[in-house]
Amino acid sequence: MPEVLIRWTENPIIRTSDCKPSTAGLEVACVLNPGAFEYKGRIGLLLRVAERPLAKQGQVATCVLDEHSPGGVKPVYYRLDDPQLSRDDPRVMSYAGNPFLTTLSHLRLAWSHDGRHFEIEPEPVLRGQGLLQTFGIEDCRVQWIDDKYWLTYTAVSEAGVAVAMSSTRDWLSFEHHGVIFPPHNKDCALFPRKINGAYWALHRPSGARIGGHNIWIANSPDLCHFGDHRCLARSRDGFFDSERIGANASPIETDAGWLLLYHGADQKSRYGLGAMLLDRDQPWKVIGRTNEPILAPMADYETSGFFNQVVFSNGHIVRGDQIDVYYGAADQVICGSSARLTDILGSIVPHQ
What residue ranges bind ligand MAN (CB under 6 A)?
33, 91, 138-139, 186, 271, 307, 310, 312, 328, 331
Q: How far is the CB of 42 from ligand MAN (least distance, A)?
A: 25
Within 8 A by CB and 6+ apart from 67, the residues are none
Residue 192 to residue 189: CA distance in whole angstroms: 9
Is 33 or 143 the residue whose CB approaches ligand MAN more closely? 33
Is 288 or 302 the residue whose CB approaches ligand MAN more closely? 302
Q: How far is the CB of 181 from ligand MAN (least distance, A)?
A: 14
Is 276 or 345 the residue whose CB approaches ligand MAN more closely? 276
Q: How far is the CB of 94 from ligand MAN (least distance, A)?
A: 17
Is 134 or 219 the residue whose CB approaches ligand MAN more closely? 134
Q: In which element (H, E) is residue 245 found? A: strand 244-247
Amino acid at 125: V
Is 103 or 219 the residue whose CB approaches ligand MAN more closely? 103
Amino acid at 63: C
Which residue of this chain has its Cβ atom nearest to ligand MAN in the complex? 312
CA atoms 43, 261, 164, 101: torsion sign: negative
Provide the H-helix boundaries in the chain: 300-303, 341-346
Is 16 or 33 the residue whose CB approaches ligand MAN more closely? 33
Please check whether residue 241 is in contact with residue 272, taking contact to mean a CB–CB distance below 8 angstroms. Answer: yes
Half-sphere exposure of 329 (CA within 13 A, CB side): 25
Q: How far from chain centre, in Å, is Cα 83?
A: 33
Dihedral, CA of residue 166, residue 167, residue 168 and residue 169, to nearest 10: 170
Please check whether residue 128 is in contact with residue 49, taking contact to mean a CB–CB distance below 8 angstroms. Answer: no
